[in-house]
Amino acid sequence: FSRQMGNCCGWLNKCERNTEREVTLLMLGLTNSGKTSILQRINKDNAQNVMHLGECTLVEMLVENFQVTILKPGSQETATWSEYYAMSHSVVFVVDSADLSRMKETKKTLEKVLSHPFVSGKPVLMIANKQDKKETLNKAEVIEKLRLEGLVNKYKCPCHIIGYSALPGYVKIANEMMKGGQEWLFNVLDLNYEFIDHRVLKDTAAQAPKRELSDMAQLLEQIYESKELQSAELSIVRLSQLE
Ligand SMILES: Nc1nc2c(ncn2[C@@H]2O[C@H](COP(=O)(O)OP(=O)(O)OP(=O)(O)O)[C@@H](O)[C@H]2O)c(=O)[nH]1
Ligand SMILES: [Mg+2]
């Protein structure tokens, strides 16, 4: 009986825990890397809500036992990226693997992100996009070009890289690749949830007194605080209307 009881409690604990697991993923990458295309693809079947807050796009979806919010700042908003670091559990960084001329810039940008105290130590999923292109770098070459191993070690970010293509002709293989990335990411988030969620709370609190955040970041914080996404005055649009 006691063993059964134990099982039952374990199950109850699990249920309780499951409902608490909310994560915010911050989607970043240089302009033209493919962020919007990827977001459209990965959420076609999964998105519960897609919201536009000014330039920002928020996609809500359920992945395994996680209530996920993918947050994508507008393309002209790189200066404001850091305002979203504290509230994010993880960064998804998109690279245009075919744009050799911007690899240096990509590396510089990535280092700026990873070195930020609100990002260091959090898991990072790299998407080596545009694998369909002729002159594209493969995953290993992207790792090499970005000196990725050194970067993620330096800033203690668990990291995984997947190849990807957002082109319509590559749906099946791209979905397979994304599945691998998703499995890695949510496994890391699952195993380290208490730690990472604590970081989010701590970092958000640390940045709170500095009320120099943009209106957008303040609005997002308010939304998260109120936990009432639906009732906020937001323009909820269907996925087909995603920019
Ligand atoms: N060949 C190829 N083209 C892609 C792929 N992903 C995106 N593109 C194209 O690359 C261009 C930029 O894609 P977007 O998804 O708009 O890129 P983005 O990162 O959202 O760009 P910004 O919003 O300007 O920052 C578009 O012309 C896409 O059609 C891909 O996997 N393969
Ligand atoms: Mg875009």
Instruction: Classify each residue of 122-136 as buried b or exposed e, where b means 16 or more C-beta atoms within 10 Å of its C-beta.
Output: bbbbbbbbbbbeeeb
Contact yes or no for 53/216 (Cβ under 8 A): yes
Ligand in nearest proximity to the CA of 98: 1
Question: Binding residue per annotation — 29?
Answer: yes
Which of 88, 86, 96 is CA-nearest to residue 72?
88
Contact yes or no for 67/49 (Cβ under 8 A): no
pTM of the model: 0.84
Question: Which atom of ligand 1 sits closest to the CA of residue 166?
Answer: 31
CATH of domain 21-192+199-207: 3.40.50.300
Say what the pLDDT of residue 82 is: 92
């245009």: which residue's tokens? 96
Token pair of 240 as six digits: 């087909």
Question: Which atom of ligand 1 sits closest to the CA of residue 129?
Answer: 31
Whose CA is closest to atom 28 on ligand 1? 34
Virtual CA dihedral for 47, 199, 151, 179, nearest 10 degrees? -30
Instruction: Give pLDDT tens digits for 165-191.
Output: 999 999 999 999 999 999 999 999 999
Say what the pLDDT of residue 225 is: 61
